[in-house]
Amino acid sequence: MAKKGIKKANWSGRFNEPVTDLVKRFTASVGFDQKLALYDIEGSVAHAEMLAAQKIITQKDLKAIQGGLQSIQNEILAGTFKWSLDLEDVHLNIEKRLTDKIGEAGKKLHTGRSRNDQVATDLRLWLRAAIDETIQKIKTLQLSVVQLADKHQKIIMPGLTHLQVAQPVTFGHHLMAYYEMLQRDLARFEDARKRMNQLPLGAAALAGTSYPIDRNRVAKKLKFDGVCENSLDAVSDRDFAIEFTFAASLLMTHLSRFSEELIMWSSPMFGFVEIADRFCTGSSIMPQKKNPDVPELVRGKTGRVTGHLMGLLMLMKAQPLAYNKDNQEDKEPLFDTADTILDVLTIYADMLKGISVNEKNMKEAALKGYATATDLADYLVVKGVAFRDAHEIVAKAVNLAIKKKCDLSELKIDELKKFSKMISSDVYSYLTLEGSIKSRNHIGGTSFEQVKKSIEKAKKRLKQ
Ligand code: ARG
């Protein structure tokens, strides 16, 4: 028997002493799993309706349960529900309040279920909503990317490999690369949703239940595509949480790369773009500074989300079947991952609207790095020179241009002819940035025409 004056847990029938305060705090999840409350109620209503339909409880009990849960929902939404640490988690808090309100009928709600299948169901319902919101927000961000690309589609900038000037590309083309990454991120979330959308409820503690339950009915009511086929798996695996966090980590990784570029481009050393003041902060000591805090934080938070992924994988790795209390640790990283990516997606879509572009600096940077050297080699190949020989000829021409501190297109025709007699004055149209861009005219290439096409295609897709 528990000591007088101490609230007993509803599972404490066989215990001789209450848990210590520290153990109570250590084992409780109510501080964070409150977030599941409305999904817990939704799941309970569907469960109770099924119990009544199967004549496991009476219609009268069902009415009482429905009414009680509705008024609890109102209390939660109004912020007047009193959460108690003594009642450990969201499930026991709600169940106790129900029994306090409606008496005997409240005690029947837990018939044929366990907190193990209950929490797995709640979490999937919550995650499904989070995925749907994420998908919408990715689309909004894609729209911002496409609008920025559309506006600046013909601006020429240096395309880099190894952070060295490689070949000219358009800013529109560069931005559309992120559109593609986001499109795959979107597909990953959609995919994870499909696998996750199976009902665990009915698995009970681990082995199923002896009552004549109808799991398909509950699945339909809760808009699951089907039921988890194995009760042990249903209560114990959290692969859906891991998958979501993986998709989130990859999304963050893409946005971290984008952020890194925005940070570099907005530095005065590049001067390619300016981020609107409302997304930057100043320095308390250096008056001239304008710091790109938002992209820096996105880059930083990528570590946080990927850390959650590692945490969840480690949480799972040594758990024997079926449910273990370890799984209670799945919630905080999962919640934080969703909160983080939803904020990041919102702020990013907004921030891109406040990007202004310095066309002149971008073009000058492209001119500085002999970005059309490959075009000269390709020109020679068309004239019959083998590519490897052409490569060497151009390297020599670049050397001369470096010595003369000029661009390849500024070398005189006689100077160029010294490297190969195949070069004639038509070469200059290949050596300009525009000429180089226009020549890459195939699907996926950087030509103005192709970039315009891919922007139009994306716009159409986003309208669907
Ligand atoms: N708060 C628990 C969790 O988040 C609910 C399930 C508890 N089940 C149990 N058998 N102790 O995982």
Q: How many residues does the chain have?
A: 464
CB 445: neighbour CB atoms within 10 A?
A: 16
Q: Which two tokens mark 201? A: 């409820």
Cβ 121 under 6 angstroms from ligand 1:
no
How big is the CA angle at 333 (ends 331 and 339), to the nearest 5 degrees? Answer: 100
Do 359 and 374 lie in a common domain?
no
**Domain boundary pick from 111, 137, 169:** 111
From first to last of its 464 residues, the chain has per-residue pLDDT tens of 444 445 677 878 888 898 999 999 999 999 999 999 999 999 999 999 999 999 999 999 999 999 999 999 999 999 999 999 999 999 999 999 999 999 999 999 999 999 999 999 999 999 999 999 999 999 999 999 999 999 999 999 999 999 999 999 999 999 999 999 999 999 999 999 999 999 999 999 999 999 999 999 999 999 999 999 999 999 999 999 999 999 999 999 999 999 999 999 999 999 999 999 998 888 777 878 789 999 999 999 999 999 999 999 999 999 999 999 999 999 999 999 999 999 999 999 999 999 999 999 999 999 988 999 999 999 999 999 999 999 999 999 999 999 999 999 999 999 999 999 999 999 998 999 999 999 999 999 999 999 999 999 999 999 98
pLDDT at 3: 45
Q: Is 3 part of a structural domain of the chain?
A: no
Residue whose C-alpha is closest to residue 40's, from 84, 91, 116, 109: 91
Q: Is 33 part of a structural domain of the chain?
A: yes
Do 256 and 379 lie in a common domain?
no
For ligand 1, pick from 115, 235, 326, 330 the residue to mutate: most ligand atoms within 8 Å of CB. Answer: 115
Q: Which two tokens mark 273? A: 């773009």
Range of 162's domain?
A: 116-211+223-364
Q: Give the CATH number, domain containing residue 392.
A: 1.10.40.30
**Domain boundary pick from 364, 395, 410:** 364
Report whether 359 contacts 433 (CB < 8 A): no
Residue bearing the CA closest to ligand 1, atom 12: 328
Q: How far apart are the first and last CA of the chain?
A: 63
- Known catalytic residues are 162, 283
Residue whose C-alpha is closest to residue 142's, from 175, 109, 106, 189: 175
Contacts of 424 (CB under 8 A, 6+ apart): 413, 417
Do 96 and 129 lie in a common domain?
no
Q: Is 164 part of a structural domain of the chain?
A: yes
Do 151 and 258 lie in a common domain?
yes
Do 199 and 319 lie in a common domain?
yes
For residue 159, what are the β-bridge partners? 167
Q: Is 134 part of a structural domain of the chain?
A: yes
* Spacing, Cα 303 to ligand 1 middle (Å): 29
Do 62 and 182 lie in a common domain?
no
Q: Is 12 part of a structural domain of the chain?
A: no
Report whether 164 contacts 86 (CB < 8 A): no
Which stretches of 106-250 are assigned E, i.e. beta strand? 156-161, 164-170, 198-199, 226-227
For residue 170, what are the β-bridge partners? 156
pTM (2 decimals)? 0.94
Secondary structure of 392-408 in HEC code, one letter for each residue: HHHHHHHHHHHHHCCCH
* Spacing, Cα 170 to ligand 1 middle (Å): 54
Identify the three-state secondary structure at position 272: coil
pLDDT at 6: 52
Contacts of 183 (CB under 8 A, 6+ apart): 142
Phi/psi at 320 (5° precision): -70, 160
What is the C-alpha to C-alpha distance for residues 337 and 245, in angstroms, rounded to an integer? 7
What is the C-alpha to C-alpha distance for residues 41 and 76, in angstroms, rounded to an integer? 11
What is the C-alpha to C-alpha distance for residues 88 and 323, in angstroms, rounded to an integer? 17
- What radius of gyration, in Å, describes the C-alpha atoms of the chain? 31
Q: Is 5 part of a structural domain of the chain?
A: no
Distances (CA, A) of 118 to 236, 281, 424: 12, 45, 78
Q: Is 168 part of a structural domain of the chain?
A: yes
Do 103 and 133 lie in a common domain?
no
Cβ 312 under 6 angstroms from ligand 1:
no
Contacts of 163 (CB under 8 A, 6+ apart): none
* Spacing, Cα 313 to ligand 1 middle (Å): 19
Q: Give the CATH number, domain containing residue 64.
A: 1.10.275.10
* Spacing, Cα 318 to ligand 1 middle (Å): 18
The number of domains in the chain is 3
Q: Is 418 part of a structural domain of the chain?
A: yes
Report whether 112 contacts 213 (CB < 8 A): yes
Q: Which two tokens mark 232? A: 């042990």
